[in-house]
Structure 1
């Protein structure tokens, strides 16, 4: 039976996403990844050069998918912020991988700069604001990710923090905050 290298790489990346999102780079184990991917450690080294290369490829792939799934909408930055919030609700592993990369491998540059450059260029096409395009992007990401990054003790103060209405209200607060930022007078 012939091997399908592309299918194996997809399985390895999927397994690595789960493993590294849960345990980070230091706690992630290539043996568990290989077993979950129905592959072997040798293939991880052959395709990715080792654990470091696999981690970096996993983070880059997760961010690439996010960039494709949630492209910037310069004419509707508030709606885009809501979409970023939704993406993190559906795919919390992306934010977790990004945080692990910042904590454990900042020197590796695991987050592709070109993803953010394209977004900054898109935002820069909108009418002038009191903030730079980078400031706008950082603010949008910060507010859209705040609920996922905030301590559970704080977010748990809501009466129904896990309920559907609570998530909808959180999303709405993100959209309103960005809308106010966009329409703020310099």
Structure 2
């Protein structure tokens, strides 16, 4: 029974922290607001995560894990992958905001293992695809992955005026998939 309560408390803290960090970033987030929303005290939060940075790391790692579970990766069908990335961030804009805060507030900080591992795995898969000639060689693997990620998240990171100009999500998604196909052709 004690373990289940601890797990529930930890999950409430992560949910509240995800909301807080996505809205305010690392520097702007307040542990007191997170604890209040999670219905626990700050001491409990510190006991689970050490400090605010440790809590952000846990939130961001959970966000990356959820993204990986839902999106997957197939180097031999990169247009479909780009479409799934687009879908994911349309459905989970808070996860894109977490990623943006991570890049803004930790440009030279310690890298998270979750990020290093997934990036290396995808780059290795792209390089294997390039060696088999299933993936074009015009770009390095890192350049290709960067371009695909940028295209797939371009609409999610645009000013609202751009979205208003193309309000149909399926039209935006189709543009993403077509752009990746063009890069690969």
When the two structures are superposed, what TM-score results if normalisation uses the length of structure 1? 0.88
Aligned to 1:133: 141
Aligned to 1:123: 126
What do residues 23-43 of structure 1 show as CA deviations (whole Å, max 9, x unaligned)?
111111111111211222111
Q: CA shift at 1:80, angstroms?
A: 0.6
Q: CA RMSD in A?
A: 1.6
Q: CA shift at 1:94, angstroms?
A: 1.0
> Would you say 1:42 and 2:24 are equivalent positions?
no
Q: CA shift at 1:112, angstroms?
A: 2.1
Q: Distance in 1 between matches of 2:11 and 2:54?
A: 15
When the two structures are superposed, what TM-score results if normalisation uses the length of structure 2? 0.89
Q: CA shift at 1:60, angstroms?
A: 1.6
Q: CA shift at 1:82, angstroms?
A: 0.1
Worse-superposed segment, 118-127 or 45-54: 118-127
Aligned to 1:98: 99
Aligned to 2:87: 86
> Would you say 1:169 and 2:171 are equivalent positions?
yes
CA contact (8 A) 1:12 1:34 kept: yes
Aligned to 1:152: 160
Q: CA shift at 1:156, angstroms?
A: 2.8
Q: CA shift at 1:45, angstroms?
A: 0.6
Q: Distance in 2 between matches of 1:70 and 1:153?
A: 27
Aligned to 1:180: 182
Q: Distance in 2 between matches of 1:39 and 1:66?
A: 27
Aligned to 1:11: 12
Following TM superposition, where does structure 1 have runs of at least 4 consecutive aligned residues deviating by more than 4 angstroms? none
SS in 2 for 1:155: helix
CA contact (8 A) 1:129 1:182 kept: no
Structure 1 unaligned residues grouped into runs of 5+: none
Structure 2 unaligned residues grouped into runs of 5+: none
